[in-house]
Amino acid sequence: MRMRKAVKINACTGISIVVANMIGTGAFTSLGFQMESLRNMAVVLTLWLLGGVLALSGAFSYAEVGTEIKKSGGEYAFLSQIYHPVMGYLSGWISLTVGFAAPIALSVIAFTEYLPINLVYPKFYGVLLIAVLTLVHSYSLNLSSKFQNISTLLKIILILTLIVIGFVMPASAENAINCETSFTSEITSMAFAVSLIYVSYSYSGWNAATYIIEEFKNPRKALPIALIGGTFLVTILYTLLQYIFLRHIPLPELIGTLNIGTLAVNHMLGTRAAAFFGGTISLLLVSGISAMIWVGPRVTASIASEHYLWRYFKSTPGQIPVRSLWLQFLISAILLITGTFEQIMIYCGILLNLSSLLVVVGVFVLRRKKERKDGYRSPLFPFLQVLFILISLWMIGYTLVNNPLETGIGLGNLFLGLVTYFISCRQGKRRTLCFPTKLEKGR
């Protein structure tokens, strides 16, 4: 298969990738469930700001690690070099099997449900959408960049338009703005802690640019801008968006409601505008699906470059990993058609959270080494890293206790990944890669 030549991307495209990966259905659907237990507007907005601070803490840490290692592949590349190749491989295995394919399938389902037309065979059209976007990203990196920038810009314009209209239009009577309940009691409650887990899922994708580090023109400057700039922008948009929802939706209608965005537009502009907005959300999701389709195969290509078992998916440096793109298409299509991925997303979440935690801990490991280069250095060290580690440990512990079945499935998948690791090592006969000596690890 002929690989098409790729060009380098800039920080603007990197921000587009981060924003597109982060903004999904979570910002438009989760507020109603948070309001079942929380009532104080300040607490709810603090919840979303804290989720943004957590994501920014990770973004600062990833910027430091990424500009030090300068290899595409995200956690796979980072953990392999910081700790041991087996840790990087297992992280890459999760990304390869479900880390991107499952969110793609979920977003495609949301896309078909938000469309204002009734599709007879929604899964067929969902698979077709994935195929078309995969084809776009298989053609050229220049085309991918233009498509991603335009679709992300439209997404931001849509959200900004909704926010501006929300501020201009008079607040609805009996809205959900309330500061009468105790701020302290709500922010220290279990309901706040549980809501933070789901808000953190809404912010997932802040690390997307690290999967394509080698495709940046100047990773030293562009990567921190993409990670931090994209995450900061989404934090502001998310927080303002939740305030608009609280300002225009009465509390009884808000509690337990899934389609928050359409409900808010209905109160502001009427039913016709709400129907139109439902259609625009489906288009908004295309940007996120496109970003995940673009980023995910870079992990597979990184694994294939070093592990014999996956050699078929190896791509030449500077070329688009076309075979990896279509492997991801196949996995996404299978998950979409079978509809067996909802539990996978739960255990996938805890495993990916663990991978991110290990990367942030890696900041301490890299700073202890004397041979540091000219990479980006995270400000406020070690406060941001400690904050990220503590909250991540809490979320992992909560999931372990409350979702033992999904945890067991996740451990099973990790074991399967470990088996393929040793098979690859044995077939490739590259013991120095799989079991590096101390001297080789220090190179």
Task: Note the pLDDT of residue 66.
Answer: 92
pTM, two decimals, is 0.83
Q: How many helices (H) and strands (E) does the chain have?
A: 22, 0
pLDDT (mean) for 209-223 = 88
Distances (CA, A) of 156 to 12, 13, 45, 232: 14, 14, 20, 13
- pLDDT-based confidence at 428, cuts 50/70/90? low
Sign, Cα dihedral of 310, 315, 321, 326: negative
The three state secondary structure string of 318-378 is CECCHHHHHHHHHHHHHHHHHCCCHHHHHHHHHHHHHHHHHHHHHHHHHHHCCCCCCCCCC
Task: Note the pLDDT of residue 151.
Answer: 77
Most confident of the following: 28-37, 90-99, 357-366: 357-366
Task: Note the pLDDT of residue 371.
Answer: 56
Question: Which residues does residue 250 pair with via DSSP β-bridges, in sequence order?
Answer: 175
- pLDDT-based confidence at 432, cuts 50/70/90? very low
Structure-model confidence comparison of residues 6 and 13, the more confident one = 13
Domain boundaries, the chain: 11-441
**Omega into 297 within 30° of 0, i.e. cis?**
no
Task: Note the pLDDT of residue 5.
Answer: 46
Distances (CA, A) of 173 to 240, 246, 267: 19, 11, 10
pLDDT of 438 higher than 60: no
**Does 11-441 carry CATH code 3.30.360.10?**
no
Mean pLDDT, the chain, whole residue set: 83
Region of poorest pLDDT, from 44-48, 58-62, 112-116, 333-337: 112-116
**pLDDT per residue over 362-407, tens digit each?**
999 998 876 566 778 999 999 999 999 998 888 888 778 777 887 7
Given a contact cutoff of 8 angstroms between Cβ atoms, the answer to whether 329 and 131 are in contact is yes
pLDDT of 274 higher than 50: yes
pLDDT of 74 higher than 60: yes
Structure-model confidence comparison of residues 340 and 304, the more confident one = 304
